[in-house]
Amino acid sequence: MNVTFFHRPESNRVDPRTLPCKPIDLEVPDDFEEVEELLSYAYSLGVPKGSARCGCVEIQTDDGIWSSHHGGRIVPSKAVFKTWEQLEAEELN
C-alpha cells in the first residue's frame, strides 16, 4: 500500500503552521489499518516524530486520509479517518 505522510518541519524563527509540509512517500504492508500502526511503521523507517509544534499533520492512503481534529500534529487518539468518498461529499455541500 502506498502511503504519504505530510510532515511539517520545526522552525524556531517562524510559526510552524505557515511552513509548507514535506510529503514523505512510503510503501507499507497492506495489513496496516490503524493510524497507530502506520505511525509506528513510519517512525521505525526514520520519519521524524516531531513535537507539539511540528511533525506528521496528515496521512494519505489509497482508502482515504487520516488527519487531526485541530489541524495540529497527528495524535492517534485524536485522529479522524475519512474515505475519499466522504471528502468528495463534503466538498459538494
7 CB burial (10 A radius; 0-12, 13-18, 19+): buried
| Confidence (pLDDT) at 81 | 92
Write out pLDDT tens, residues 11-63. 666 665 666 788 999 998 888 878 899 999 999 998 888 776 778 888 999 88
| Confidence (pLDDT) at 18 | 66
Q: pTM of the entire structure?
A: 0.80
Those residues whose C-beta lies under 8 Å from the C-beta of residue 64, and which sit 6 or more positions away, are 81, 82, 83, 84, 86, 87
CB count in 10 Å sphere of residue 81: 15
Domain spans, the chain: 2-92
| Confidence (pLDDT) at 11 | 66
10 pLDDT tier (thresholds 50, 70, 90): confident
| Confidence (pLDDT) at 22 | 86
